[in-house]
Amino acid sequence: MAANVLAVLALGGANPALAAEAEREIAATLDDGTIVEAVTLSGDNGVSVTLLSLGATLWKFMAPDRDGVMADITIGSDDIQSYKTRPNYWGVTVGRFANRIDGGRFTLDGKTYQLPTNDGENTLHGGGNGFDVQNWTVSKVTQGSKAQAVFTLVSEHGDSGYPGRVEARTTYTLDDDGALTITFDASTDKPTIINMTNHALFNMAGQGAPQGAMDNILTIPAARYTPVTENLIPTGELRPVEGTPFDFRKAKPIRQGLRDGGNQQIVYGRGFDHNFALDKGVTRRPELAARLEDPVSGRVLEVLSTEPGVQFYSGNFLDGTYVGKNDTLYRMGDGIALEPQKFPDAPNQPDFASARVDPGKPYRHVMVYRVSVAR
């Protein structure tokens, strides 16, 4: 990271309760002259996160194991330029619409909108010029009992084909207990669709661990999931997980069922790349969406959210062509995503929770990445 510091927020004062710190600096200058800022939030228990203005991205997430050894639990790249020129969604804020939209089309109030297609015939994570490759404004950085960074972005009417001028905000808040709360807010001047999430890929053994993330133990409190077509678009069915590789109601290693070629859904996804309909549904406050644990290091991640679904992606498209952090060559299973969100293709699926947002009725999604250690 560059040493050209924009601002360093020192703790100041003698109050030991105000232990969460924040530091802001220049991280990189892109080839087009864009200045990317980094904000590092640190908690009293040693947990820290580094965020980038490019994509309002969770770039690094440092967490201790049961012996106090720190590791970055997210995969990604040290090359910030690559987040724009070769995006892989590592830790980014995804929008306007996370996940897939069938054919890149949806209809709202009788009008059909066509979006860019960047996933075969479908639109994925905004269409290729989404929130993830935009340089957000660092609007506010604070510290105290919690450390916080606020990123803002304006997406004009017609941006990538979406209606409405959207003012979006992503707020990261880290406390001293190892909980990183991410709050997504957005407002619009015309009816539109919004579905925002974070797309971090985790390995609780630490990024670059030679065993990958497949021995991480996963729990998802969902009795049903949304099966997909060969193009990874939900069929509209909510299918029971019982008796299938998709049953994570009891904790089990990710590798269990990952290569079950007898299950057509695993074949379609090349592993797990499916949305789970959380038993909790839509909630006012974040509730458990997933739990991930590395049994060797003891590191634990709990994902909480107010949204009704979580997409579990087992890193199936990491094919050895991505050189990541610390010159690690990433392959399938080196990291997994647990993305809380509305269901994929919700604008075209009337039985799914609506992604519609209207003027005067702003969008909000609150999610939490909470890390701890199992003794």
Written as tens digits, the pLDDT of the chain (375 aa) is 443 333 333 333 334 445 799 999 999 999 999 999 999 999 988 999 999 999 999 999 999 999 999 999 999 999 999 999 999 999 999 999 999 999 999 999 999 999 999 999 999 999 999 999 999 999 999 999 999 999 999 999 999 999 999 999 999 999 999 999 999 999 999 999 999 999 999 999 999 999 999 999 999 999 999 999 999 999 999 999 999 999 999 999 999 999 999 999 999 999 999 999 999 999 999 999 999 999 999 999 999 999 999 999 999 999 999 899 999 999 999 999 999 999 999 999 999 999 999 999 999 999 999 999 998
Residue 63 corresponds to which tokens in the numbers above? 């967490």
Task: Write the pLDDT tens digit of every residue in 105-116.
Answer: 999 999 999 999
CB 61 within 8 A of CB 369: yes
State residue 128's pLDDT score.
94
Q: Does domain 7-373 have CATH number 3.40.50.300?
A: no
Cα gap 21→62, rounded to integer Å: 14
Q: How many CA atoms does the CB half-sphere of 162 hold within 13 Å?
A: 32
State residue 4's pLDDT score.
38
User: Residue 349 — φ and ψ, nearest 5°?
Assistant: -125, 95
Cα gap 26→7, rounded to integer Å: 9
Q: Checking DSSP bridges between strand 299-305 and strand 329-331, what pairing results, if any?
A: unpaired
Q: For residue 70, list its beta bridge partners.
A: 64
At position 283, the amino acid (one-letter code) is T
| Cβ neighbour number for residue 284 with a 10 Å cutoff | 7
Show me where the domains of the chain are located: 7-373
Q: Nearest-CA neighbor of 289 among 222, 366, 373?
A: 222
- Our CA angle for 241, 332, 271, nearest 5°, is 20
Handedness of CA 367, 97, 33, 77 (dihedral sign): positive
Residues recognised as catalytic: 199, 339
Task: Write the pLDDT tens digit of every residue in 83-123.
Answer: 999 999 999 999 999 999 999 999 999 999 999 999 999 99
State residue 18's pLDDT score.
54
- Tokens 């580094």, located at residue: 50
Helix (H, G, I), strand (E, B) or coil at 29: strand
Q: Nearest-CA neighbor of 194 among 112, 94, 279, 281?
A: 94
State residue 10's pLDDT score.
32
State residue 3's pLDDT score.
37
State residue 45's pLDDT score.
87
pTM recorded for the entire structure = 0.95
